[in-house]
């Protein structure tokens, strides 16, 4: 097996793994922030292994950039905060509706 073929297979493997992780993130399948941190660390380890190939291979450079952006999204707390506020705002809205209905009944 030639080095180019092996390199291509390794890059394909990492591309598939990053795509799978991206799909999980978009689907909201990371239940806990801890899971996101673990996935981010695994991606960081993979990117360190790919670093020597970045100088020679354009595909490796793009893969590393995609991996870095995915890591940033995984470690972003924006989605976690939005989930918490979204759940709270629904309950808050339901409470406001109940209060307004009672006020109308009293008048």
Residues 27 and 50 in one domain: yes
pLDDT at 1: 56
Residues 104 and 83 in one domain: yes
Higher pLDDT, 90 or 2: 2
Residues 12 and 39 in one domain: yes
Residues 24 and 54 in one domain: yes
Q: What are phi and psi of 22, to 5 degrees?
A: -60, -40
Q: How many domains does the chain have?
A: 2
pLDDT at 99: 76
- Measure CA 69 to chain center: 9
| pLDDT tens-digit map of 78-93 | 776 666 666 555 566 6
| pLDDT tens-digit map of 23-75 | 999 888 888 889 999 999 999 999 998 888 888 889 989 999 999 999 999 98
Rounded to whole angstroms, the Cα distance separating 56 from 43 reads 21
Can you give the residue range of the structural domain that contains 5?
A: 1-76
Q: What is the pTM of this model?
A: 0.70
Residues 38 and 88 in one domain: no
């Amino acid at each position: 097996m030639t080095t180019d073929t092996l390199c291509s297979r390794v890059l394909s493997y990492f591309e598939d793994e990053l795509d799978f992780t991206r799909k999980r993130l978009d689907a909201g399948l990371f239940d806990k922030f801890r899971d996101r941190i673990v996935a981010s660390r695994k991606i960081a380890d993979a990117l360190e292994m790919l670093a020597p190939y970045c100088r020679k291979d354009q595909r490796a450079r793009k893969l590393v950039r995609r991996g870095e952006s995915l890591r940033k999204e995984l470690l972003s707390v924006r989605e976690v905060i939005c989930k918490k506020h979204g759940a709270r705002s629904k309950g808050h809205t339901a409470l406001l509706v109940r209060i307004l209905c009672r006020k109308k009944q009293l008048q």
